[in-house]
């Protein structure tokens, strides 16, 4: 992997915790990494790895996932370079002693009507059924939490890998109560930090690696599932959604060009009311240091210093030609949008 390209392989729990990162910001080496199940601890050891490996990953759950991020400028040439790098990635199963720690994960369950929302069950019921199917094999990595979490899940209807709604319970009220708990937790001093002009960031203990902060893991997963911890990336976001009336636009002003270290990046991304990326004819979903942003005089932001602006305007209203490179398309017809900045190595 090139030294000047941001890349990270994140090893994550099904619930959204990022337990291990292998990437350029820590100058990790290319080569083979052995991943081993260990129900008592987790982490990456690059000092004393097994023979033939450059690192040992200990993972405390039976199921997990790897989320790969590689920075690209989205040009055809750069995409070809990314594809060449991807050709060198592989995953190989290794024999291990002892019995399996869990049944093999059956991915077809995610297409089964039993685990999907529809006419016969709500979204929340479907989520609870999926959670019950995997919870016993993926307990909290905070070992001191395992007993009380198991007790609470049993009380909530988790039994023998199934969810059976307790008699007299109301899932709708339970969801409302959970959301209220999260709102109250988020409002506590020190959870979010005001960084000026309506932007906030999460405190380091409430993003990426949550430990026992399950309220924040739930809250962040609703819009930033598998978000990285702040040693990899920070996510300044608006404290509130932005309401854009039909025919109106938004100008984001950067007082100066964001500073990043070699191998880092910054980007501004807009999400529609469904919290998904906004489709547009330019196939442009973010703007940042990899793009041909310009100053008001037309010179490239990447070549200078000073203030510049990014235009958030509806996909069906094309701006003047001198704004095209600084245009981030948003939902047509007016809507609420969520705007997030990402910085790696500020």
Average pLDDT, the chain: 90
Tens of pLDDT, residue by residue over 280-328, are 999 898 899 889 999 999 999 989 999 999 999 999 899 999 999 999 9
pLDDT of residue 80: 93
Phi, psi of 237 (to 5 degrees): -140, 160
> What's the average model confidence in pLDDT over 104-131?
91
In the β-sheet with 65-70, what is the strand arrangement from edge to edge? 18-23, 7-12, 65-70
Tokens at residue 10, please?
Answer: 């994140």
Cα 217 to Cα 14: distance, rounded to the nearest angstrom: 11
Tens of pLDDT, residue by residue over 250-286, are 898 999 998 877 777 888 888 888 778 889 999 898 8
239 Cβ neighbours under 8 A, 6+ residues apart: 192, 194, 198, 199, 200
pLDDT of residue 224: 83
pLDDT of residue 230: 85
- Of 276, 320, 269, nearest in space to 290 by CA: 269
**Which of the listed ranges 95-109, 138-152, 223-237, 332-346 does the model predict with the highest average pLDDT?**
138-152
> What's the average model confidence in pLDDT over 210-226?
91
Tens of pLDDT, residue by residue over 29-86, are 989 999 999 999 999 999 999 999 999 999 999 999 999 988 887 788 988 999 999 9
pLDDT of residue 248: 86
> What's the average model confidence in pLDDT over 109-115?
90
Residue 275: left if φ>0, alpha if ψ -120 to 50, beta else—which one? left
Domain boundaries, the chain: 7-86, 107-169, 173-224, 240-344
- DSSP H helices in 70-145: 76-86, 123-135
DSSP 3-state percent helix, strand, coil across the chain (nearest 5): 25, 25, 50
Q: What is the pTM of this model?
A: 0.84
Task: Give the class (CATH, top level) of 240-344.
Answer: mainly beta
pLDDT of residue 146: 98
Asked if residue 345 has pLDDT above 80, the reply is no
> What's the average model confidence in pLDDT over 170-196?
94
**By the 8 A CB rule, do 331 and 249 touch?**
no
pLDDT of residue 346: 44
């Amino acid at each position: 992997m090139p030294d000047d390209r941001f890349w990270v392989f994140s090893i994550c729990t099904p619930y959204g915790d990022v337990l291990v990162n292998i990437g350029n910001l820590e100058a990790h080496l290319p080569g083979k990494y052995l991943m081993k199940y260990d129900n008592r601890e987790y982490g990456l050891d690059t000092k004393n790895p097994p023979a033939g490996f450059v690192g040992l990953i200990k993972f405390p759950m039976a199921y997990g996932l790897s989320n790969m991020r590689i920075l690209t400028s989205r040009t055809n040439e750069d995409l070809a370079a990314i594809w060449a790098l991807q050709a060198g990635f592989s995953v190989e199963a290794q024999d291990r002693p002892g019995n399996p720690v869990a049944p093999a994960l059956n991915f077809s369950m995610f297409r089964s009507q039993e685990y999907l929302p529809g006419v016969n069950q709500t979204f929340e019921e479907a989520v609870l059924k999926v959670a019950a199917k995997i919870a016993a094999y993926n307990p909290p990595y905070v070992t001191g939490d395992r007993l009380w979490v198991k007790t609470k899940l049993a009380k909530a209807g988790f039994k023998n890998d199934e969810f059976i709604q307790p008699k007299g319970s109301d899932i709708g009220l339970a969801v409302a109560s959970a959301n209220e708990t999260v709102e109250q937790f988020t409002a506590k001093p020190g959870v979010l930090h005001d960084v000026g002009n309506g932007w906030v960031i999460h405190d380091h203990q409430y993003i990426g690696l949550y430990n026992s902060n399950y309220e924040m893991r739930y809250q962040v997963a609703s819009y930033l599932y598998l978000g990285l911890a702040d040693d990899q990336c920070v996510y300044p976001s608006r404290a509130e959604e932005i309401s854009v009336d039909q025919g109106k636009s938004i100008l984001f002003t950067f007082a100066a060009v964001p500073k990043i270290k070699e191998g880092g990046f910054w980007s501004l991304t807009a999400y529609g009311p469904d919290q998904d990326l906004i489709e547009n004819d330019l196939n442009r979903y973010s703007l940042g240091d990899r793009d041909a942003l310009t100053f008001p005089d037309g010179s490239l932001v990447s070549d200078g210093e000073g203030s510049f602006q990014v235009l958030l305007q509806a996909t069906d209203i094309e701006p003047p030609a001198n704004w095209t490179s600084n245009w981030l398309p948003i939902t047509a017809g007016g809507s609420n949008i969520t705007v997030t900045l990402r910085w790696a190595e500020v």
